[in-house]
A = this chain, B = another copy of it.
Amino acid sequence: MSKAFEKLQQIDKEIILLEHTSALLQWDQETGMPAMAIEERSDQIALMQGLAHDRMTGAEVGELLEQARSEAGGAGAETVSGDGQATGAEDAALPPEDDPRFFSSAFLRLFGRHYEREVKIPRRLVTELAQTTSRAQAAWIEARRADDFSLFQPHLEKIVALTLEKAEALGYPEQPYDALLDEFEPGMRSSQVEEVFADLKTELAPLVKRITEAQKVDDSFRRRGYPSAGQREFSLKVLRDMGYDFDRGRLDESAHPFTTSLGGNDIRVTTRFHEDDLFSAIFGTIHEGGHGLYELGIDPAYHGSSLGEGTSLGIHESQSRTWENLIGRSLPFWQHHFPDLQRIFPDQLENIDAEGFGRAVNRVQPSLIRIEADEVTYSLHVILRFELELALINRKLEVKDLPQAWNDRMEQLLGIRPPSDADGVLQDVHWSMGAIGYFPTYALGNLFGAQFFNRMQQDLPDVDKRIGAGDLLSIRRWQQEHIHRHGAVYTAPELVRRVTGEALNPRHFIDYLERKFSRLNVL
């Protein structure tokens, strides 16, 4: 390794330490921080993010990068095309894994991409965004509790204005939203997402109609009152069965479930227990567990470097939604796990059996809350948010008109109208975090996930039998070998092609839904 390369690695490690520390400050804020600590906490988070920004954009970094690239024989500097989704000069092809230049090429390519993005954002904007969003998260919690959008509105207005400023600073190929999307799903453009989502809407609308007309399922037992302690016990059990390692993680409670990396060996998940809805914690926990397994499965050689994290949010979401839906909402899964649940809640689940439970968790019905939506209508929730974000960023919609626009759009897409903003525009934490451009990755995750799962079924033809026998670890092993261990080495388009032999293809997701609901005798 050259001196320049080693120095870059040191800088990268320090940035990762600052980011993980910032993640702890945020995790603590969401899980148990005393209410009045919020003001200084905002300053603490802003300082961490400001220091990380300083480190990345330090005067010497550009030069070190250039030097390390030239010493590495130009690795990470050439542009490739052919995939259709590689857009930047940073997406150079990597040598094979056993090539001695593999690690340095992967590192320089990724670090270079981060550097070239970060150096465009002024320090003032970084800390202002951090401070604004930290306060906005507290305001959002309060606004949701009080069901009063006006408490959150000024915060969101400031966030939209700062986000637009960021998009302009970053630059974009077609429209400002491209610059935002690129943070979460590197290499994709808004226009591609618009196209994919237009297809998806076309396919999903009639599917929702056919299923809801034919399906007869009673899931009322989910409201029978389930004490948190029992839900917690089952959540912990399922996480253990999935292979989640509690020596390297924790399960806590927060208003909005999330997964966060506080270190290569400190990957924490949260959930929330609603005593009047059994499904909320179960699928929330399995979902976050899927995110957790991704981070836990990364090659330890990448720990402490920016290669040591998931490569994109769409790929991340493919893992969480595969666990939540393709595995967690399958009949075989409940054939194995229902008895455990029934043992914990014998009274509430007295007249239910595994198959009945498995059918109930697949009830399709237009509903208000995204994270509790069934997997058929779910993507429509995402499309709604994407369209509203696009309108905000293109200045075709003002924040003050957002609740009305949300409700109108819900009515068009899902045929229902939220009775309150708490169950409508205020339900998600993302905008309060400044994560505009994030939502589309949820629906992309459904698509990536179905495509990967299709490939896995070719390698493990008896996957249903394994799930039914409680053998979730062999699924985890397949995912780790093909997806998790690579961390951020490959971009999402590279990874999809590498694993499945083809580019992103939404057909797999629609095929999966049709096959599943015809097996459930609904189609």
Contact = CB atoms under 8 A, between A and B. Distances in A.
Interface of A: 14, 17-18, 20-21, 24-25, 28, 32-37, 39-41, 43-44, 47-48, 51, 245-250, 262-266, 268, 303-304
Contacts of A37: 248, 262-263, 265-266
A250 B34 CA distance: 7
27 contacts: A17-B47, A20-B40, A20-B44, A21-B21, A21-B44, A21-B47, A21-B48, A24-B25, A24-B44, A28-B28, A33-B266, A34-B247, A34-B266, A35-B247, A36-B245, A36-B248, A36-B265, A36-B266, A37-B248, A37-B265, A40-B264, A40-B303, A40-B304, A41-B263, A41-B266, A44-B263, A51-B51
Contacts of A20: 40, 44
Top 6 closest pairs, chain A to chain B, by CB = A37-B266, A40-B263, A36-B265, A35-B247, A36-B248, A37-B263
A43 B248 CA distance: 16
Contacts of A35: 247
A40 B21 contact: no
A416 B444 CA distance: 69
Nearest to A20: B44
A33 B268 CA distance: 10
A264 B34 CA distance: 11
A264 B303 CA distance: 34
Nearest to A38: B265
A43 B43 CA distance: 22
Given A21-B44, A33-B266, 8 more contacts: A17-B43, A18-B47, A21-B47, A24-B24, A34-B265, A35-B247, A36-B245, A37-B248
A246 to B, nearest CB: 7
A249 B17 contact: no
Contacts of A264: 40
A40 B250 contact: no
A51 B246 CA distance: 31
A12 to B, nearest CB: 13
A32 B270 CA distance: 14
Contacts of A41: 263, 266
B21 A247 contact: no
A266 B32 contact: no
Nearest to A47: B17
Contacts of A47: 14, 17-18, 21
A96 B262 CA distance: 47
A321 to B, nearest CB: 25
B24 A28 contact: yes
A45 to B, nearest CB: 9
Given A24-B24, A247-B34, A265 B44 contact: no
A266 B40 contact: yes
A224 to B, nearest CB: 26
A14 B50 CA distance: 11
A229 to B, nearest CB: 12
Contact of A36 (B21, B39, B247): B247
A303 B28 CA distance: 20
A47 to B, nearest CB: 5
A17 B34 contact: no
A340 B324 CA distance: 47
Contacts of A245: 36
A34 B263 CA distance: 10
Contacts of A44: 17, 20-21, 24, 263
A14 B127 CA distance: 13
Contacts of A33: 266
A248 to B, nearest CB: 5
Nearest to A45: B21
A32 to B, nearest CB: 6
B304 A34 contact: no
A262 B246 CA distance: 26
Contact of A250 (B32, B250, B263): B32
